[in-house]
Structure 1
């Protein structure tokens, strides 16, 4: 099997575990598609809006079932913040989800591959995000390992991570969340 085919197979297996079934076909098709330039801002925003549209209905359903200490986890770069397009600016559709969560008693947690929580927290607060916790990757950890460790620690603190929102496969590695919502990364071009 070629390296490209084995990478596609590995990503398809990951998507089957971490993403809703409806997203599986799109995720594998996107991985097989040829690499294209990062789209313009308006296209990205439309794609983000489509990806997060099911989050609030999902949260409403979970809250209706009496989940204890519910939380959402957000990745930072090119998820919560428009790092590629407008450094430091909030990604509007994701900010709307975070604000809805805060208004309904759902903790807003951030898990990032960054290694400094102080600067990350400040950027997020400056962009208008409610921030209940920020967990960063330790030096020497891979992105996926660090993010999985963070979610495990947050779960150990009593949070029920009902929704995990990110734009890279590493945002979903290792579990410790109920449902993943993947934003576009355009074949890895938005890190």
Structure 2
């Protein structure tokens, strides 16, 4: 088998272990050749990668059907055939019965107002069958992050620290810290109750 064929086989069988691994940074030592076929195969692999049980999939388009609360929405697929419930990844908003719960929902409603179509980067599903996702509005703003900046949610550290979210976690931590320091939204209360404690009663 010649070096070009060996290079191709090596590239096709290389595992992709990072969610944002780029085929452009991978090279074969066999003859120093990286074939177009190998690059195409690796690009397809990187469109869906798994880390620690979380799956980052290609971003898809949806229309918003309803805002359910400060960290959950209902959406419909671009073809209009399927509806989904989406849990915004990495954040946890106050429950509706909590202080600032309805204000958090209003904040998310305002952020999505006027966005006929949104994009969602999906990270699998939670125990309730809801899609876990990072939501981007029509201007490609990160809506999950904006909820933190608005003081409308906590960083959900239990899940936000997972490897699948490594590309987002530092900016999310910084957004929450800014809201805390400026006493924005729920942080105007000197000792707000985190929703995960509220749910435990």
Which protein has the bigger strand share? 2
TM-score range, shorter chain: under 0.3
Which protein has the bigger helix share? 1
TM-score, structure 1 normalization: 0.27
TM-score, structure 2 normalization: 0.26
More relative contact order, 1 or 2 (CA 8 Å, 6+ apart): 1
